[in-house]
Structure 1
Amino acid sequence: MSSSELTAKPVVDAERAGSVRIEQVTHQYGRGGEAFTAVGPVDLAVPAGEFLVLVGASGCGKSTLLRLIAGFEQPTHGSVRVSGAEPRPGVSAGVVFQTPRLFPWRTVRGNVDLALRYAGVGRAQWPERRAELLARVGLEGTERRRVWEISGGQQQRVAIARALAAENPLLLLDEPFAALDALTRERLQEDVRQVTERTGRTAVFVTHSAEEAVFLGSRIVVLTKSPGTVAPDLPISLPRGDVDAEELRNSPEFAELRAQVSHAVKAAAAACTPYTPSGKGFDP
């Protein structure tokens, strides 16, 4: 990864479906002397089809920035544009939270059907679309099971299926695997990586983990300690096509990038001068 690659700004068609543009955004909580600046100022451009990972220490504003992109909150200053327009909650993007937030009295089918209903999909199309979504996240045969009858990892898969139901060009994920065991987390990381590759959706993913960031991201933005601002903005040169996940995780290039991102996160949290990696590609 050359110095020019590290400093180059992505070229973004601000009107293209799935693109995100954040301009001079600052977000505060409270008023007057009680005001607390959580984020900003932040300038960030995310091209359509990119998998951007926001990583940083606790309290650096990662989730706040994601909520601003989702339209759940409005910036105190600056502007956020998704696909060339102001974000609309539940419309501009599919969102997956840290916990699945499913309706426990509904079956898997009922939870997905509700998402299809809100997405405006005609009822006659539900069976086909539901089967497609559940197959995409590896949940074939679970339609009639209640939420409490499936594992935590399966519940999060249902949440991902719901987020994909509307076929929004943008998918937002806020530490969706944080509460899962290591094996389930790795499997779901692979699923999300594959789904976004196949569908071409833009993704913005929040995590604390340098390893998760390197595995998932085509680009990683490290945020400083609060108020969160962009520290390193790193393109990731690892392959995103047909590559064995285990081989990728065990490669020297992956280990080097993981160490570099981990160092950058620690430096940003300590408000030090961020470490600038020299990264290498991966040859499967």
Structure 2
Amino acid sequence: MPSPNDHRTDPRDSPGGAGAAALAPAVAVREVTHRYGRGADAVTALGPLSLDIPAGEFLVLVGPSGSGKSTLLRLIAGFEHASQGDVTVHGRTPEPGRQAGVVFQQPRLFPWRTVGENISLALRYAGVPRAERSSRVEELLERVGLAGTARRRTWQISGGQQQRVAIARALAGGKDLLLLDEPFAALDALTRERLQEDLRTVSARTGITSVFVTHSVDEAVFLGTRAVVLSAGPGKVALDVPIPLPRTGDDDPDGLRGLPGYAALRAEIGAAVRDAAR
């Protein structure tokens, strides 16, 4: 079995290296620290931390509870602003709903609307003409494996299907950045694996830039093109490693998990997570 380090790239070719210096990252996190509370009651949740996320990358944030993974995601989404440092998306300060589609742990669908109406609403806010919305809804539902469900009520579909609708709705906005905060955490193991496969396929075929928060090392290796392990709070980068596994959109999940490189990466990232929790 090859060493986990066999998968590392030359620093000059990494997102932050000299080879990428001429390309502006899709997301830039610069010396960010974030605190909750004030004065003696202030708690530092994150940082100092710096990251570059190139366009088209699928970055997975993994680490123990309290490491600031979700905090970092909220900063990138523009839901919060860093106490110190800067976060930019395509060179601009992020604003909620403007630069990124966001998927949460719960689908947060409108139960009084049909599946199609939930997605159509996102298309409306994205400025898609009414005449085009129906075909776009069908296209998005097919993309996430839910073709033919547009007229169903959200309470008539399973939890896993609801989360697929949430992903389709996030993609409907036409943003080139997708943020996902443990979207599969509440699902059973079989549904979770199926949605991981679906998301990996969507990512490979669309090339959308993604940031995914998880506690699962296996999920991190399976989904990501790069994994960043954050240390116990305040969260800092404990490991930053590329995941150079095949990514065509038609990859066999069992075949991927059976690769020696897969096992080596899972061992390396798992060890880093355990060390980060100490």
TM over 0.5: yes
Q: Is 1:74 equivalent to 2:74 in the alignment?
A: no
Q: Is 1:5 equivalent to 2:9 in the alignment?
A: yes
Taking the aligned partners of 2:150 and 2:59, their CA distance within structure 1 comes to 32
Q: Is 1:262 equivalent to 2:270 in the alignment?
A: yes
State the partner residue of 1:35. 42
Q: Is 1:95 equivalent to 2:107 in the alignment?
A: no
Q: Is the 8 A contact 1:12 1:45 kept in 2?
A: no
Change (3 A) 1:106 1:49: same
Q: Is the 8 A contact 1:14 1:83 kept in 2?
A: no
Q: Is 1:61 equivalent to 2:68 in the alignment?
A: yes
With normalisation by structure 1, the TM-score equals 0.91
Q: Is 1:136 equivalent to 2:178 in the alignment?
A: no
Q: Is the 8 A contact 1:14 1:84 kept in 2?
A: no
Residue 253 of structure 1: how far off its partner (Å): 2.3
Taking the aligned partners of 1:117 and 1:12, their CA distance within structure 2 comes to 37
State the partner residue of 1:250. 258
Q: Is 1:209 equivalent to 2:213 in the alignment?
A: no
Taking the aligned partners of 1:145 and 1:13, their CA distance within structure 2 comes to 48
Residue 4 of structure 1: how far off its partner (Å): 6.5
The count of aligned residue pairs is 268
With normalisation by structure 2, the TM-score equals 0.93
Taking the aligned partners of 2:93 and 2:144, their CA distance within structure 1 comes to 30
Taking the aligned partners of 2:163 and 2:147, their CA distance within structure 1 comes to 14
In structure 1, list runs of 5 or more residues that go unmatched. 271-284
Taking the aligned partners of 2:69 and 2:148, their CA distance within structure 1 comes to 36
Residue 91 of structure 1: how far off its partner (Å): 1.2
Taking the aligned partners of 1:159 and 1:4, their CA distance within structure 2 comes to 34
Change (3 A) 1:236 1:4: closer
Taking the aligned partners of 2:162 and 2:75, their CA distance within structure 1 comes to 25
Q: Is the 8 A contact 1:25 1:78 kept in 2?
A: yes
CA RMSD between the two structures: 1.5
Taking the aligned partners of 1:131 and 1:4, their CA distance within structure 2 comes to 40
In structure 2, list runs of 5 or more residues that go unmatched. none
Q: Is the 8 A contact 1:14 1:20 kept in 2?
A: no
